[in-house]
């Protein structure tokens, strides 16, 4: 295989992956509590250095990494958990988190199985039975691990910075705000939710709750669009490299081969 063709091909694949991530970020720029994603890439020399230092393989020398290629390798997709901007809604059951932590939710799947998952989306509602739920109808959990249930006849509902919910001056419940030692052990679960995987360790959350606010997505639209333009140009550059190699091969096959 012509190395130039392979190198350009890997570059196009890498830029296509970047474009997928950027378009997903832009599509969710209005999603409450959404955390944008990014993708890394690895060059051949960095991959080689990593394998040379790999001591997990027995023997004097590290394992071979196969035939040499000078292309780019798509790295890992990561999530940027930085704080998103606050927007005022003045709705009683809209709650935003400022700081590190997640709301604790009881999620029910289509089979009726329940599990505990987490979200930064505090766009809650109260059902006619008084339960505090997400927009998808999943129950918000309190510090006792139970569903938060409030009075439907109370005159005033107030939520303080610690997530304590008061109705008519009486504390009714307290939201469970959960945080983790390492966010690498969280995976996106869909519907703006997060699920811990093996190795996740909880820690005391420092986030404060703000009633009447929602945390917007941490997506900077202008920045993402600029990155899309740069990615498109990089993709087109790799296309031109392939076209140039193709023309060279045509000359080699159709003209030089006749001599």
In the chain (259 residues long), the average pLDDT of successive 10-residue segments reads 75 90 94 92 57 52 50 79 95 96 94 93 95 95 95 92 95 96 91 91 94 96 95 92 84 69
pTM for this model (two decimals)? 0.80
Q: What is the reported pLDDT for 41?
A: 73
| pLDDT at 135 (0 to 100) | 93
Query: Residue 245 has what pLDDT?
Result: 82
What does the pLDDT look like over 81-131, one tens digit per residue? Answer: 999 999 999 999 999 999 999 999 999 988 889 999 999 999 999 999 999
Identify the pLDDT of residue 62. 40
pLDDT at 69: 54
Alpha helix (H) residue ranges in the chain: 3-27, 44-52, 221-254
Distance CA 176, CA 61 (A): 51
State the pLDDT at residue 70: 58
CB 47, CB 74: distance < 8 Å: no
Question: How big is the chain by its Cα radius of gyration, in Å?
Answer: 26
What pLDDT score does 199 carry? 92
CA neighbor of 159 nearest in space, from 178, 172, 149: 172
């Amino acid at each position: 295989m012509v190395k130039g063709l392979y190198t350009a091909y890997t570059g196009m694949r890498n830029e296509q992956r970047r474009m997928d991530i950027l378009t997903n970020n832009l599509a969710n720029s209005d999603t409450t509590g959404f955390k944008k994603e990014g993708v890394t890439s690895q060059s051949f020399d960095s991959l080689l250095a990593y394998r040379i230092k790999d001591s997990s393989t027995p023997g004097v020398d590290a394992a071979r990494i196969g035939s040499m290629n000078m292309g780019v390798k798509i790295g890992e997709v990561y999530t940027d958990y930085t704080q998103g901007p606050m927007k005022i809604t003045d709705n009683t059951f809209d709650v935003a988190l400022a700081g590190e932590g997640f709301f604790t939710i009881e999620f029910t799947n289509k089979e009726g199985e329940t599990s505990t998952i987490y979200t930064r989306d505090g766009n809650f509602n109260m059902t006619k039975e008084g339960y505090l739920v997400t927009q998808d109808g999943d129950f918000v959990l309190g510090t006792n691990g139970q569903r938060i249930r409030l009075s439907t006849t109370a005159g005033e509902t107030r939520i303080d910075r610690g997530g304590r919910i008061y109705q008519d001056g009486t504390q009714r419940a307290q939201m469970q705000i959960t945080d983790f030692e390492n966010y690498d052990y969280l995976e996106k679960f869909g519907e703006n939710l997060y699920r811990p995987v093996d190795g996740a360790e909880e820690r005391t959350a420092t986030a404060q709750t703000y009633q009447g606010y929602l945390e917007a997505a941490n997506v900077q639209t202008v920045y993402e669009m600029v990155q899309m333009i740069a990615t498109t140009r990089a993709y087109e550059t790799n296309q031109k490299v392939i076209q140039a190699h193709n023309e060279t091969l045509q000359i080699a096959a159709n003209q030089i081969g006749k001599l």
